């Protein structure tokens, strides 16, 4: 998903600042869709403003810097629906943990075991957070999406718990640092 589509999705629900869009990308119910940085959000908002997809208004508060509050326009809503209606590409899945798993022989089983424990804890926390969001959800589409995410992460967690010993055994066949560097 593009940052543009992501920003339009958030703004179709409510007006927001660039900071709020970033926060929603990190922690809100949109956090399951894309990783968006300030470096991609602000240029995207600026370009969408030039295209007439969003507008902004300045909000001032006593003792605080002014903020730009972005709103989606009708043209922006139409563009968002058009982008949603295009055939979706395959989901992107990137995992630093899988890179570690691929090169587990280079780091050894002790380090790998600690990282597996960390990954298990991360997945359990993520699943718990999604279940909490599901309890609060009154939107059937949001509930379905959360259930799908919970199911996917639960399968990953179960696989990791069931098969961690296989990976730890592979990591026991540690490659010496001199070989790893070659």
Tens-place pLDDT, residues 84-112: 888 777 776 778 899 999 999 999 899 99
Of 28, 55, 86, the domain-final residue? 86
Residues 102 and 80 occupy one common structural domain:
no
% of the chain beyond a pLDDT of 90: 58
Residues 8 and 43 occupy one common structural domain:
yes
Residue 7 lies in a domain: yes
The range of the structural domain enclosing residue 123 comes to 96-180
Residue 71, phi then psi, degrees to nearest 5: -130, 145
Give the model's pLDDT for residue 5.
Answer: 87
Of 40, 58, 86, the domain-final residue? 86
Residues 59 and 124 occupy one common structural domain:
no
Residue 65 lies in a domain: yes
Q: How many domains does the chain have?
A: 2
Burial 125-164 (b: 16+ CB within 10 A, else e): ebbeebeebbeebeeeeeeebbeebbeebeebbeebeeeb
Residue 124 lies in a domain: yes
Residues 66 and 113 occupy one common structural domain:
no
pTM of structure: 0.72
- By the 8 A CB rule, do 154 and 173 touch? no
Residues 75 and 149 occupy one common structural domain:
no
Residues 103 and 174 occupy one common structural domain:
yes
Give the model's pLDDT for residue 178.
Answer: 60
Phi/psi class of residue 63: alpha, beta or left (left: φ > 0; alpha: ψ in -120 to 50)?
left
Residue 91 lies in a domain: no
Residues 46 and 116 occupy one common structural domain:
no
Residues 110 and 171 occupy one common structural domain:
yes
CATH number at residue 30: 1.10.10.10
Residues 154 and 114 occupy one common structural domain:
yes
Please tell me what DSSP assigns to residue 102: H
Task: Tell me the per-residue pLDDT of 117-160, one tens digit each, with 9 for 90 and over.
Answer: 999 999 999 999 999 999 999 999 989 999 999 999 999 999 99
| Residue with tokens 């593009």, as numbered in its chain | 2
Task: Give strand pairing partners of 69.
Answer: 57
CA separation, residue 31 to residues 8, 9, 101, 110 (Å): 14, 12, 25, 32
Residues 73 and 35 occupy one common structural domain:
yes
Residue 47 lies in a domain: yes
């Amino acid at each position: 998903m593009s940052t543009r589509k992501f920003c339009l999705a958030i703004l179709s629900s409510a007006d927001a600042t660039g900071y709020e869009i970033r926060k929603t990308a990190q922690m809100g119910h949109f956090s399951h869709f894309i990783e968006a940085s300030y470096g991609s959000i602000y240029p995207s908002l600026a370009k969408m403003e030039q295209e007439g997809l969003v507008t902004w208004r300045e909000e001032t508060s006593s003792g605080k810097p002014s903020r730009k509050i972005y709103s989606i326009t009708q043209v922006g809503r139409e563009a968002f629906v058009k982008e949603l209606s295009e055939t979706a590409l395959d989901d992107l899945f990137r995992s630093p943990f899988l890179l570690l798993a691929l090169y587990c022989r280079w780091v050894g089983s002790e380090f790998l075991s600690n990282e597996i424990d960390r990954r298990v804890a991360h997945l359990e926390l993520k699943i718990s957070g999604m279940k909490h969001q599901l309890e609060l959800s009154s939107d059937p589409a949001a509930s379905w999406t959360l259930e799908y995410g919970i199911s996917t992460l639960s399968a990953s967690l179960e696989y990791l718990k069931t098969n961690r010993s296989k990976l730890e055994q592979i990591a026991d066949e540690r490659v010496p640092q001199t070989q790893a560097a070659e």
